[in-house]
Amino acid sequence: MGIFDKFQNLAATRQQLEALGINPFGVQIEKIISPTEGVIHGRPTILAGTNNYLGLTFDPDCIAAARTALEHEGTGTTGSRMANGSYSGHRKLEQEIAGFYGKSDGIVFSTGYQANLGMLSALAGPDDVVLLDADCHASIYDGCRLGGAEIIRFRHNNPEDLAKRMRRLGKRAADALILVEGIYSMLGDRAPLKEIVDVKREFGGYLMIDEAHSLGVLGEKGCGLVEELGLLDDADFIVGTFSKSLGGAGGFCVSSVPELELIRYSSRPYIFTASPSPATIASTRCALHKLEAGTHLRRRLHDNAQRLHDGLSALGYKLGAPPSPVIAVVIDGVAEALQFWNNLLQRGVYVNLMLPPATPDGVSLIRCSLSAAHTTEQIDAVCAAFAELRAQA
């Protein structure tokens, strides 16, 4: 077998896309006008697939903080956190994000993907067992594989199935690691976290929650689903990303487990990756302070999500979950989803196209993500584009 033979199925899929004249995975935004508008194929386009939940990518204070760090600390650290890449800002951000969640300490990683990869590969080794929701993000699966832990999947959002599998573990359940997400990225549905915590309380184990899509979105402070449900003390580890609500790049884990500091010295993705640039750290810290300071952006985000959800529901579209910043429209058939996505783009609306096998249950999704920066006029324009395509169906 040749080294490239494994890519034959992928090559065949690419050929099918080329035959349709549609390339959804190579779209370039030629010009960024605002957090919610850009130019694609020379056409002004509403950006409704960016995960820029609070619209902070153009916030003047965040930009000013990044500019100051750029001028005083340079373009990059040129080294890992374990070598020369730990600046005072990195440590301050770790302390601030830990304080935000009411945890003892935190670790900052270069990306959200690496936060899961770095934590799980160090935390869950060959003698350990992890139980993860079947719809968990690829970074969670990859981190578990890298660590070599025994992986047990339970049915998506099914605490009863988790309990059954914990029961089978017997005494091993006391040291098992349970992995769930606050808001799942594909459909935008929430974890039944109270019921998951009940299972943990019955059988033991440790709970890690990925709040990547719920940080800045849920909870009185914006900590996520774990805060909204009053379960912060039940989460042993909380991981997330700075690339969505906080408009930057990077990832984190916060915890009050005393051994968290030891993970810093055993996590290969942390040890061997260059640390985030000073400008990225500075803008992220500024965005976090803004998140702590008020709730108006979250209220606007929820209003926008409700408006789009109501509009698409009224048009008769099948939606993946109740209102959240992620609103996924289920489309029957891969070819139909490809064409639908392209038709939206031609009408000046950019969304995400999600196809199997990356999607739950092999469905095809047109995935919208809302921002606090979207205007009601923009949301109505998105609904109008969907309405026009509905009329042509």
Residue given tokens 């999500």 in the structure block: 305
Where are the alpha helices (H) located in 211-315, listed in sequence order? 225-228, 260-264, 268-271, 278-293, 296-314
Burial class (CB in 10 A: 0-12, 13-18, 19+), 159: buried
Q: Which of 282, 299, 280, 136 is nearest to 222 (CA)?
A: 299
Torsional class of 330: left (φ above 0), alpha (ψ -120 to 50), beta (otherwise) = beta
Contact 97, 252 (CB under 8 A): yes
Contact status, residue 337 vs residue 359, Cβ threshold 8 Å: no
Is 124:144 a contact under the CB 8 Å cutoff? yes
Q: Are strands 31-34 and 37-40 parallel, antiparallel or unpaired?
A: antiparallel
Q: Are 232 and 224 in contact (CB under 8 A)?
A: no
Please give the Cα distance from 106 to 254 (Å, whole number).
4
Whether residue 35 contacts residue 58, with contact meaning beta carbons closer than 8 Å, is answered with yes
Place of tokens 């934590």: 119
Judging by DSSP bridges, how do beta strands 177-181 and 150-154 pair with one another? unpaired
Chain length of the chain: 393
Q: Which of 90, 213, 290, 309 is catalytic?
A: 213
> Can you give the C-alpha Rg of the chain in angstroms?
21
Task: Tell me whether residue 244 is one of the annotated catalytic residues.
Answer: yes
Residue 357: which residues within 8 A CB-CB, separation 6 or more? Answer: none
Q: Which of 110, 139, 185, 283 is catalytic?
A: 185
With CA atoms as reference, report the closest residue to 46 among 370, 392, 325, 390.
Answer: 370
Q: Would you state the structure tokens that stand for residue 37, as one six-digit string?
A: 């508008």
Q: Which 8-state DSSP code applies to residue 80?
A: B
State yes or no: is 185 an active-site residue: yes
Is 239 within 8 Å of 208 (Cβ atoms)? yes
Phi and psi at residue 35, in whole multiples of 5°? -60, -20
The one catalytic residue in 103, 244, 290, 374 is 244
Helix (H) or strand (E) holding 377: helix 376-392
| Residues with a known catalytic role | 185, 213, 244
